[in-house]
Structure 1
Amino acid sequence: MNIYEFEVKTEKGEPYSLEQYKGKVLLVVNTATKCGLTGQFEELEELYKKYKDQGFEILGFPSNQFKQELPNATDAAEACRLIYGVTFPMHELVKVNGEDAHPLFKYLTEQTKGLLGKNVKWNFTKFLIDREGNVVKRFAPTDKPSKFESEIVKYL
């Protein structure tokens, strides 16, 4: 099993397969627009612009599981674009922990362990996926994207 077997929904609720990213390096991030870590949006966007032409994609998944997100995906995505200048794809509002967690996040957390074991500790937990769809690294919420740029480059 790999990440390409999952279906996700855009912020507008339109379903699609992650298979469309086959052959690309992905960074999957659970986001929140009212979190103290929102400064990371700027760094994420810088990385996205710098490496997207080399096959790098960032996929943002807003989550209100930690009570720091707007009530719906459309509003969250709009805030990301207007306030933080995000141009990478944003998705539906998801749960990242527990029985109701989105299947993608269940898979991501099973493949990598963090400080709290399998659970996502907080907003802005980041998962790096190689070109074959394998989860290769998990970064903590406080890990600034600029600090692990070399990890991304290694897989490009």
Structure 2
Amino acid sequence: MGLKGKLTAQIEMRAGGDVFHDLFRYTPHQIPKISPTTIQGCDLHEGEWGTVGSVYFWNYTHDGKPQVAKEVIEAIDEAKRSVTFKLIEGDLKEELKDLKASFHVETDGDIDLITWTLEYEKLNDDVEDPITLLGFGIKIAKDIESHHLKAP
């Protein structure tokens, strides 16, 4: 098996893709209120919320373990409603040399689809592919959807 890989998952967002995009881009510090079992904190470490080059520090629970990550916003494409984060520090660096996590929003008729993509390079062949991390992104999307569908 190779050390580099790419995983993709797509999920329908009945609450609207713009809600998801805007939350992750401009107000990710609100995600812990929406998905508290997954994300416990998001702090702005450098820059300004929602701008390329800004650095976010995340506290989260993955595979039942509390973890941290520092990510930089590497790219934003308003036309595709996409944001790309690059991992620069954190617990995942113990297994992954590189990780980019991105999402984009597509509209198909009256349905918005959120597509998560993970591009990664493992430190060695003994490291599992980060499939559970993709599930982590899907869980957050579902929590955001549930939260916004309940909102008045």
User: TM-score under structure 1 normalisation?
Assistant: 0.25
User: TM-score under structure 2 normalisation?
Assistant: 0.26
Find the structure with the greater CA-based Rg: 2
